[in-house]
Amino acid sequence: MAGDLAPADVVSQSEQTQEPFVEEKDLPPARYIIKGSTAGCGVVESFLPFASIPVIDLSLIALSSSSKEEEDELEKLKLALTTWGCFQVVGHGIPTPLLDKMREITEQFFDLPEADKQIYSRAMNDIEGYGTDPVLSDKQVLDWSERLFLKLLPQSSRNLNLWPETPNEFRGSLNEYSEKVKSIIDIVLGAMSRVLNLEEHYFLTKHGNQALMNARFNHYPTCTRPDLVLGAKAHTDGSGISVLLQDKEVEGLQISNNSDWFRVPIIPHALLINIGDQMQIMSNGMCKSPMHRVTANARRKRTSLVIFYLPDPEIEIEPARELVNGEKPRLYRKLKNYAAINFECFQNGKVALETVRL
Ligand SMILES: O=C(O)CCC(=O)C(=O)O
Ligand SMILES: [Fe+2]
């Protein structure tokens, strides 16, 4: 990836950035550099404050029961949904050794020689497989990362030829992990329905029984100039919800709240649940799909694993009728296949959520 690019890129970039203090040999290739102000990029030792993202004990949110402890967790959940648009979950039932195994196989895969990873390469116009972010224009600034994107659900969508055979525990571990994450998603969507005073299965049903689940393994290599690039540019997730397993030691994820950026703290055995655009739509804006980004790091590489859960693209989604009233008019139109809308907007430099707003 990045490191393999021709030195010619580096030279041309030094002309574009006009940063006399930068030594050419240290510059990342041109197409990775965020143009203009470097204020948007940070480093891990950043001065930014930590986000006070709620930590929710999922074991206390048992479906259809009620206790004081559960009420407290649901209260925290409501706050999380309407403020940060994300929360960390503990008590989620995934054993720590499996979380560590997922981190291990992620690292092992990205540590393979490039040729071995290329076996799983993403085809030109496809999202699935190994590669960098899809390059849609010459002007696009690339993320300082490499990824492996795999379809998990429905089962029939799995392309096993793209599932790495090395390390040899990869396939089995991913299968086991995805089943456990699906159970967490079921509980979280049930709890989200309840805190918004909707019928318990509301959001789950709205995703449909052919809902999509995808995995994205991210690797952010070290970068000599982390102040000039981003591991992942600022974005919101186009999913319904996303479940993120962060690197256990290396920080990098930042989240925006009221136009300020905050660092997301690492809790090694927790998962970060992120609300995606489609849940913002279905909740009529009650749940926030937060803008987030990933910084690069000069000293340490970072990995993460995100599971995206999305409504069946054939199903129409729209704001829940119960959440539309005189005080909260309907914010979004009815639509289906938001992923396609999102992709088209990405190609045209538009913000998908804005284009579906009424
Ligand atoms: O690496 C991370 O912490 C977040 C990655 C992310 O936001 C994404 O893959 O959508
Ligand atoms: Fe994301």
Ligand 1 within 6 A of 253 CB? yes
| Lookup: tokens for 83 | 């403020």
What is the 294 CA–ligand 1 centroid distance (Å)?
7
Q: Specify burial of residue 25 (Cβ count, 10 A radius: 0-12, 13-18, 19+).
A: exposed
What is d(CA 17, CA 136) in angstroms, rounded to the nearest whole number? 22
pTM given for the model: 0.91
Rounded to two decimals, the ipTM of the complex is 0.99
Q: What is the pLDDT along the chain (358 residues), one digit of tens a residue?
A: 544 333 333 223 333 334 444 455 678 888 898 876 554 455 544 689 999 999 999 999 975 567 888 999 999 999 999 999 999 999 999 999 999 999 999 999 999 999 999 999 999 888 899 998 878 788 888 999 999 999 999 999 999 999 999 999 999 999 999 999 999 999 999 999 999 999 999 999 999 999 999 999 999 999 998 989 999 999 999 999 999 999 999 999 999 999 999 999 999 999 999 999 999 999 999 999 999 999 999 999 999 999 999 999 999 999 999 999 999 999 999 999 999 999 889 888 899 999 999 9
* Cα(325) to centroid(ligand 2), Å: 31
Could you tell me the two tokens for 20? 């006399």
What's the gap in Å between 236 CA and the centre of ligand 2?
6
Cα(21) to centroid(ligand 1), Å? 31
- Which residue's CA lies nearest to atom 9 of ligand 1? 306
User: Ligand 1 in contact with 294 (CB < 6 A)?
Assistant: yes
244 close to ligand 1 (CB < 6 Angstrom) = yes
Helix runs in 196-321, H state only: 202-207, 277-282
- Nearest residue (CA) to ligand 1, atom 1: 304
Atom index in ligand 1 nearest the CA of residue 252 equals 3
Question: What's the one-letter identity of residue 155?
Answer: Q
Q: Whose CA is nearest to atom 10 of ligand 1?
A: 237
Domain extents in the chain: 28-355
Instruction: Supply the CATH classification number for the domain 28-355.
Output: 2.60.120.330
Report the atom number in ligand 1 closest to the C-alpha of 147. 9
What is the whole-number distance in angstroms between the Cα of residue 203 and the centre of ligand 2? 21
**Three-class SS state of 38:** coil
Distance CA 36, CA 19 (A): 10
Cα of 292 vs centre of ligand 2, distance in Å, is 6
Q: Which residues contact 65 (CB under 8 A, 6 or more apart)?
A: none
Positive or negative, the CA dihedral 155, 161, 163, 166 is positive
CB of 342 shorter than 6 A to ligand 1: no
Name the β-bridge partners of 147.
131, 218
Q: Which of 325, 332, 338 is nearest to 357 (CA)?
A: 332
How big is the chain, counted in residues?
358
